[in-house]
């Protein structure tokens, strides 16, 4: 589930027990979430959830690859931040603001945080690295490259985190670190 998304998949049961759900948070948005520019219509059975956009109902989610061109033709905006220093969204939208707020909440309440495939860009991603600096969670940083490891270690030490007490670095790829990630997060 993703907070702020109105609909995912018409085949997903609405009454899944909480132990069968997990939340994915997108603090920079994602290209599969769209903001309709105006009223537009489509076919739910084909996987494109459409309708009149109302600011309190959530963004729509493209479910089928074949509907990407439909979203483009209907002038829908992707709800994703550009990959640049400011990370500003294409459309300043409550969805991305809500996802940033939710990421702060999730970070502050976590017992363990695993960071995979993310460079330590604390200067430009303060909305992530600020809460991570304040988090009491144990952080597992998965990074095969020495330069990335050094950058993370420098940030962690700079915010008062102690290696092997507050964080650890797994100098591996995600594939090679998978069992370690399970162990650190007490997952099976």
pTM for this prediction:
0.72
Tokens for 63, please give them: 């479910």
Residues 183 and 137 in one domain: yes
pLDDT over threshold 50, residue 46: no
Residues 116 and 103 in one domain: no
**Greater pLDDT, 186 or 161:** 161
- Containing structural domain, residue 172: 111-188
Of all helices (H) and strands (E), which one includes residue 177?
Answer: helix 174-184
CA distances, 14 to each of 6, 17, 95, 136 (Å): 12, 9, 22, 34
| pLDDT value of residue 89 | 56
Q: How far apart are CA 33 and CA 157, in angstroms?
A: 36
Range name among 24-28, 51-55, 69-73, 151-155 with the lowest pLDDT average? 51-55
- pLDDT, the chain, mean: 77
Tokens for 56, please give them: 């309190």
Residues 56 and 144 in one domain: no
Residues 185 and 136 in one domain: yes
Q: How far apart are CA 71 and CA 62, in angstroms?
A: 8
Mean pLDDT of the 3-17 span: 59
Q: How confident is the model at residue 51 (pLDDT cuts 50, 70, 90)?
A: very low
Residues 118 and 60 in one domain: no
CATH of the domain at 132: 3.40.50
| pLDDT value of residue 93 | 65
Q: Which residue has tokens 């084909």?
A: 46
pLDDT digits (tens, 9 = 90+) for 96-136: 788 888 999 999 999 999 999 888 888 888 888 999 999 99
**Greater pLDDT, 15 or 173:** 173
Residues 93 and 130 in one domain: no
pLDDT digits (tens, 9 = 90+) for 79-95: 777 656 566 655 556 77
User: Domain tally for the chain?
Assistant: 2
Asked which of 109, 126, 154 is the last residue of a domain, the reply is 109
Residues 102 and 123 in one domain: no
Residues 94 and 29 in one domain: yes
């Amino acid at each position: 589930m993703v907070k702020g998304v109105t609909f995912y998949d018409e085949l997903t049961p609405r009454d899944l027990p909480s132990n069968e759900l997990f939340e994915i948070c997108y603090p920079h948005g994602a290209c599969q979430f769209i903001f309709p520019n105006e009223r537009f219509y489509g076919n739910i059975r084909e996987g494109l959830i459409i309708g009149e956009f109302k600011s309190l109902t959530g963004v729509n989610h493209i479910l089928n690859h074949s509907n990407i061109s439909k979203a483009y033709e209907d002038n829908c905006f992707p709800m994703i931040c550009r990959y640049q220093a400011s990370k500003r969204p294409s459309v300043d939208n409550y969805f991305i603001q809500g996802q940033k707020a939710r990421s702060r909440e999730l970070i502050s309440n976590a017992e363990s945080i695993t960071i995979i495939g993310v460079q330590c860009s604390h200067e430009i991603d303060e909305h992530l690295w600020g809460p991570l600096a304040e988090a009491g969670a144990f952080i597992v940083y998965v990074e095969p490259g020495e330069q990335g490891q050094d950058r993370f270690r420098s940030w962690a030490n700079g915010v008062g985190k102690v290696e092997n007490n507050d964080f650890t670095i797994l100098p591996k790829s995600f594939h090679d670190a998978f069992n370690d990630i399970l162990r650190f997060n007490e997952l099976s």
